């Protein structure tokens, strides 16, 4: 007799910072279906953007998501600059380098944040504390360059708002030098640990065909072997002048997603260093006054994937329509196949592995199918996940000796 | 003085709620637990259930879908319970106040004790806000 | 054969208008009735990736743009359809072709009121349960 249990994750859970509601239908230990209810963060930003002028919209879209706080304004200004002829034609050189540096610093802080949360979900609280500890110097870099740890207000149509001071550059280089051994440590701690490897391997698998069918983007897609990266496919900033690699994995499981993000940290550090060496002097703002009628599309590779903005203008100083599609909109929906088929103890980490940013997308109930009753909550799920890791540690203890 | 209130201020258990927020405030609140700020050395910790909460730390503009749940959470919290509005969205809804999906500011729905403005407020500001809340409670005796 | 020639050859006069605003932005106007066939061609044969779809309320009708990314060259091909009947706008759903379209069609249904025929799960995505029926936030109610 099947006995489906409801485990709600959300809408309010302290460590899944954003509210969303995952209803997992389980039979015994296995997840057989999932219902995703979002909308707890829907603030009507697309409609609000129609009432603001172009400069104000940049501030508005920055607050779509706090973690990929620079991706949304960057994609938005690229969309408007698309109407004006393209970023490369409109924006001065120095501003392109500054934009690239901010974009990559953001990737660093976002991946470290995710690493910490993933560590907590599987019971490695030390990984959580260390990842977030090493995230602090990155936030200090932001504060030094832009004035704020999290909402930078750096992007404007035609350039950037603040310049990189000469004295900032050695400090940024030093921060990157100090981050590199930390990333080496995480790589060793996560990729070489046999417990983590057996804990995360072969769970939450998204095959390449499924990844294409669900149109997923970012590390979630690259971990399944889908070779897409906006920085290479349609370069913006100065990505096409620097040397860096697109990180691809094949297996599509949670371990592959973790490895993809850790290896991307190395690439980001290398990109920032190259930018700091090559950045030229010059203007940072093209001082755009008018935007002609037209429509433009801008996209950037946010830490979670392709962030897509479409702007339609009519010659006035406000957009007629602003369509925002954040990467998590595509990735979170794919949990329908990624999480189904796994066990409850793996559910927490599988759902977290797509690096959901629900506020970008507009937020765990385990439901017992026959009785249709809720039995567990998100806190229980995380506890189950941590218990499974402890069990694995016990089993592998003898082989590790 | 009220024994319950005195006990409350010794070691606060904080329940964090996020409603229609961009998540910046939530990350800064979680940052408070990390080694650089480490509020756990003061006995403050984030709890997983509202029934254990002494402080409700609320972030985000009040989104239409979330308001009924917000009210339910407040009812479930054991009284006395301090309500702290963290971030400018919770204080006054910020740039979202004209949106079709956002209702009234938080303090029209629940009684707010402390406002921590900022977008997002730095962890130092959040800690300062909670300390103000503690002082307010102690002065009220 | 390069991709633009493939599209022109395969679709012929199904393309009502071909506009290129830049080397990587191509906008094609097509009929609502042909949408499933053309999207199927883009997704399955040309192996383009569906980025998103956006709906706009214009004086002439409800316009839907389907944005497809051709990652090999970084170009975006956008299909434009116009639904002239604003009282009962409807079009074939493309979700049966690939699952990645499910959520965006639900969003356009609840924010603009467009009915997607054949959608497997057309229910509320973002708005609250008590949001009034018939009120579509992204429609321009009071403008001429």
Q: pLDDT tens-digit profile of A107-130? A: 999 999 999 888 888 888 888 888
Which of the four pLDDT bands, split at 50, 70 and 90, describes residue B137? confident
The two beta strands, C17-22 and B114-116, are unpaired
Which of the four pLDDT bands, split at 50, 70 and 90, describes residue A374? low
User: Which domain range does residue B29 map to?
Assistant: 3-139
Whole-number pLDDT of residue A358: 46
A37-53 mean pLDDT:
82
Q: What is the pLDDT of residues A287-335, one digit of tens each?
A: 999 999 999 999 999 999 999 999 999 999 999 999 999 888 888 888 8
Whole-number pLDDT of residue A15: 43
Whole-number pLDDT of residue A372: 62
Name the residue with higher pLDDT: A57 or B39.
A57
Which chain A residue has the Cα nearest residue C94? Answer: A213
Instruction: Give the residue from B10, B134, B28, B4 showing the smallest Cα distance to B86.
Output: B28
Instruction: Give the residue from C129, B59, B100, B71 showing the smallest Cα distance to A18.
Output: B59
Find which of B63, B65, B99 to mutate to test the C interface (most C CBs within 10 Å of its CB): B65
Q: Which residues of C touch B19 (CB under 8 A)?
A: none
CB C53 within 8 A of CB A330: no
Which chain B residue has the Cα nearest residue C137? Answer: B100
Which of the four pLDDT bands, split at 50, 70 and 90, describes residue A365? low
Which of the four pLDDT bands, split at 50, 70 and 90, describes residue A362? very low
C88-97 mean pLDDT:
92
The whole-chain average pLDDT of chain C stands at 90
CB A362 within 8 A of CB A42: yes
pLDDT at A12 over 60: no
Q: Which residues of B touch A45 (CB under 8 A)?
A: 96, 99
The whole-chain average pLDDT of chain A stands at 85
C29: closest CA of chain B, how far (Å):
32
Whole-number pLDDT of residue B79: 84
Q: Which residues of B touch A47 (CB under 8 A)?
A: 99-100
- Six-digit token string for C107: 């969003």
Q: What is the pLDDT of residues A81-108, one digit of tens each?
A: 999 999 999 999 999 999 999 999 999 9
Q: What is the pLDDT of residues A196-240, one digit of tens each?
A: 888 888 888 999 999 999 999 999 999 999 999 999 999 999 999
pLDDT at A368 over 70: no
Name the residue with higher pLDDT: A348 or A153.
A153
Rounded Cα–Cα distance for residues C32 and C89 (Å): 11
pLDDT at A359 over 50: no
Q: Which residues of B touch C130 (CB under 8 A)?
A: 64
What's the Cα-to-Cα distance from C22 to each of A96, A156, A164, A229, A315, rounded to whole Å? Answer: 20, 21, 31, 21, 18
Q: What is the pLDDT of residues C21-72, one digit of tens each?
A: 999 999 999 999 999 999 999 999 999 999 999 999 998 999 999 999 999 9
- Confirm or reject contact between A69 and chain B (CB < 8 A): yes
| Size of the A and C interface in Cβ pairs below 8 Å | 89
Q: Which residues of C touch A82 (CB under 8 A)?
A: 21-22, 25
Q: Which residues of A touch B18 (CB under 8 A)?
A: 12, 17-19
A129: closest CA of chain B, how far (Å):
6
Using CA of residue C125, residue C127, residue C131, residue C132, what is the dihedral sign? Answer: negative
Whole-number pLDDT of residue A182: 92
- Six-digit token string for A155: 């992007």
Query: Could you give the angle at which helices A71-84 and A93-121 cross, rounded to 10 degrees?
Result: 150
- Model confidence, pTM: 0.90
Phi/psi of residue C85, nearest 5 degrees: -85, 105
pLDDT at B4 over 70: no
Q: What is the pLDDT of residues B17-72, one digit of tens each?
A: 887 788 888 888 888 888 888 888 777 888 877 888 888 888 888 888 788 888 88
Whole-number pLDDT of residue A77: 95
- Confirm or reject contact between C29 and chain A (CB < 8 A): no
Q: Please report which residue ranges of A3-92 form alpha helices under DSSP H.
A: 45-49, 54-62, 71-84, 87-90
Name the DSSP class of B17: E
Statement: A45-328 belongs to CATH 1.10.645.10? yes
What is the topology classification, in CATH, of domain C3-89? Beta Polymerase; domain 2 (3.30.460)
Rounded Cα–Cα distance for residues B16 and A12 (Å): 8
* Nearest beta carbon to residue A47 from set C24, C74, C137: C137
The domain that holds B84 is classified in CATH as 3.40.50.12280
Q: Which residues of C touch A85 (CB under 8 A)?
A: 22
Q: Which residues contact C120 (CB under 8 A, 6 or more apart)?
A: C95, C96, C102
- Confirm or reject contact between C1 and chain B (CB < 8 A): no
A84: closest CA of chain C, how far (Å):
10
Rounded Cα–Cα distance for residues A91 and A238 (Å): 11
Whole-number pLDDT of residue C89: 92
Whole-number pLDDT of residue A18: 44
A142-146 mean pLDDT:
91
- Confirm or reject contact between B99 and chain C (CB < 8 A): no
Q: Which residues of B touch C112 (CB under 8 A)?
A: none
* Nearest beta carbon to residue A228 from set C49, C65, C99: C49
- Six-digit token string for A284: 């940072």
A348-367 mean pLDDT:
62
Domain ranges of chain A: 4-41+339-400, 45-328
Q: Which residues of A touch C66 (CB under 8 A)?
A: none
- Confirm or reject contact between B64 and chain C (CB < 8 A): yes
Q: What is the pLDDT of residues A172-183, one digit of tens each?
A: 999 999 999 999
- Six-digit token string for A113: 């944040």
Secondary structure (DSSP) of A353-375: HT---HHHH---EEEETTTTEEE
Whole-number pLDDT of residue A379: 65
Which of the four pLDDT bands, split at 50, 70 and 90, describes residue A9? low
- Bridge partners, residue C20, by sequence: C26
Whole-number pLDDT of residue A355: 74
For chain B, the chains sharing at least 3 beta-carbon pairs closer than 8 angstroms are: A, C
- Confirm or reject contact between C137 and chain B (CB < 8 A): yes
| Size of the B and C interface in Cβ pairs below 8 Å | 12
Find which of A9, A10, A11, A12 to mutate to test the B interface (most B CBs within 10 Å of its CB): A12
What's the Cα-to-Cα distance from B130 to each of A57, A120, B6, B120, rounded to whole Å? Answer: 33, 25, 15, 15
Instruction: Give the residue from C66, C43, C70, C44 showing the smallest Cα distance to C54.
Output: C66
* Nearest beta carbon to residue C127 from set A39, A85, A330: A39
pLDDT-above-90 percentage for chain A: 50
pLDDT at C20 over 60: yes
pLDDT at B102 over 90: no
Verify cis geometry, omega within 30 degrees of 0, for the bond prior to A217: no
Which chain C residue has the Cα nearest residue A86? Answer: C22
B101-111 mean pLDDT:
87
Whole-number pLDDT of residue A377: 62
Which of the four pLDDT bands, split at 50, 70 and 90, describes residue C144? very low
CB contact under 8 A, C100 and A215: yes
A222, containing H or E segment: helix A218-222
pLDDT at B7 over 80: no
A157-161, A358-362, C44-48: which range is least confident on average?
A358-362
Whole-number pLDDT of residue A239: 94
Which chain C residue has the Cα nearest residue B100? Answer: C137
B64: closest CA of chain C, how far (Å):
6
ipTM for the predicted complex: 0.93
* Nearest beta carbon to residue B100 from set C129, C130, C137: C137
pLDDT-above-70 percentage for chain A: 88
Verify cis geometry, omega within 30 degrees of 0, for the bond prior to B120: yes
Q: What is the pLDDT of residues A28-40, one digit of tens each?
A: 888 888 887 777 7
Q: Which residues contact B135 (CB under 8 A, 6 or more apart)?
A: none
For chain C, the chains sharing at least 3 beta-carbon pairs closer than 8 angstroms are: A, B
For residue A277, the tally of other CB atoms under 10 A from its CB is 10
Burial A83-117 (b: 16+ CB within 10 A, else e): bbebbeebbbbbbbbbbbbbbbbbbbbbbbbbbbb
The two beta strands, A305-313 and A319-325, are antiparallel
C12: closest CA of chain A, how far (Å):
25
């Amino acid at each position: 007799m099947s006995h489906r249990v409801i485990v709600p994750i959300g809408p309010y859970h302290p460590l899944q910072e954003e509210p969303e509601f995952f209803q997992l239908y389980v039979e015994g230990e296995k997840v057989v279906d999932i219902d995703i209810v979002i909308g707890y963060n829907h603030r009507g930003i697309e409609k609000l953007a129609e009432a603001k002028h172009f400069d104000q919209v940049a501030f508005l879209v920055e607050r779509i998501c706090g973690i990929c706080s620079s991706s949304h304004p960057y994609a938005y200004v690229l969309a408007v600059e698309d109407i004006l002829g393209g970023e490369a034609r409109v924006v001065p050189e120095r501003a392109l380098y500054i934009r690239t540096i901010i974009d990559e610093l953001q990737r660093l802080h976002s991946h470290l944040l995710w690493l910490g949360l993933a560590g907590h979900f599987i019971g490695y609280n030390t990984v959580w504390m260390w990842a977030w500890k090493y995230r602090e110097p990155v936030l200090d870099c932001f504060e030094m360059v832009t004035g704020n740890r999290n909402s930078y207000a750096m992007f404007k149509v035609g350039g950037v708002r603040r310049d990189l001071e000469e004295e900032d550059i050695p400090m940024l280089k030093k921060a990157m030098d100090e981050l590199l051994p930390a990333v080496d440590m995480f790589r060793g701690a996560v990729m070489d640990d046999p417990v983590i490897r057996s804990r995360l391997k072969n769970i939450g698998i998204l095959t390449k065909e499924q990844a294409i069918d669900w149109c997923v983007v970012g590390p979630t897609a690259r971990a399944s072997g889908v070779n897409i990266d906006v920085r290479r496919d349609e370069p913006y900033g100065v990505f096409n002048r620097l040397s860096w690699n697109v990180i691809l994995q094949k297996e599509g499981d949670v371990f592959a997603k973790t490895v993809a993000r850790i290896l991307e940290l190395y690439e980001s550090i290398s990109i920032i260093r190259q930018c700091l060496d090559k950045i030229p002097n010059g203007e940072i703002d093209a001082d755009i006054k008018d935007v002609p009628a037209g429509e433009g599309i801008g996209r950037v590779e946010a830490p979670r994937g392709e962030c897509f903005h479409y702007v339609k203008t009519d010659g006035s100083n406000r957009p007629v329509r602003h369509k925002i599609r954040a990467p998590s909109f595509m990735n979170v929906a794919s949990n329908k196949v990624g999480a189904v088929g796994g066990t409850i103890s793996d559910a927490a980490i599988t759902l977290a592995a797509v690096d959901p940013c629900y506020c970008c997308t507009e937020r765990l109930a385990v439901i017992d199918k026959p009785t249709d009753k809720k039995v567990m909550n998100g806190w229980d799920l995380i506890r189950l996940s941590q218990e499974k890791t402890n069990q694995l540690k016990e089993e592998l203890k003898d082989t590790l000796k | 003085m009220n024994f319950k209130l005195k006990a409350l201020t010794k070691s606060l258990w904080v329940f964090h709620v996020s409603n229609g927020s961009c998540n910046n405030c939530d990350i800064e609140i979680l940052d408070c637990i990390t080694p650089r700020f480490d509020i756990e050395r003061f006995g403050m910790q984030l709890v997983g259930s509202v029934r254990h909460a002494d402080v409700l730390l609320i972030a985000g503009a009040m989104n239409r879908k979330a308001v009924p749940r917000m009210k339910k959470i407040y009812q479930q919290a054991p009284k006395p319970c301090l309500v702290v509005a963290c971030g400018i969205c919770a204080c006054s809804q910020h740039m979202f106040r004209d949106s079709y999906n956002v209702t009234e500011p938080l303090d029209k729905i629940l009684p707010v004790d402390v406002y921590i403005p900022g977008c997002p407020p730095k962890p130092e500001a959040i800690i300062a806000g909670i300390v103000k809340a503690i002082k307010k409670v102690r002065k009220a005796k | 054969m390069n991709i633009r020639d493939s599209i022109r050859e395969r679709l012929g006069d199904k393309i009502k208008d071909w506009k290129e605003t830049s080397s990587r932005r191509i906008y094609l106007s097509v009929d609502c009735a042909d949408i499933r066939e053309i999207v199927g061609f883009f997704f399955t044969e040309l192996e383009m990736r569906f980025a998103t779809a956006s709906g706009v309320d214009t004086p002439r009708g409800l316009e839907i743009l389907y944005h497809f990314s051709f990652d090999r060259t970084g170009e975006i091909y956008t299909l434009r359809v116009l639904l002239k009947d604003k009282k009962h706008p409807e079009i074939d759903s493309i979700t049966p072709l690939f699952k990645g379209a499910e959520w965006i069609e639900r969003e356009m249904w609840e924010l603009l009121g467009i009915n997607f025929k054949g959608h497997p799960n057309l229910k509320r995505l973002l708005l609250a349960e008590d949001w009034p029926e018939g009120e579509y936030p992204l429609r321009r109610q009071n403008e001429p």
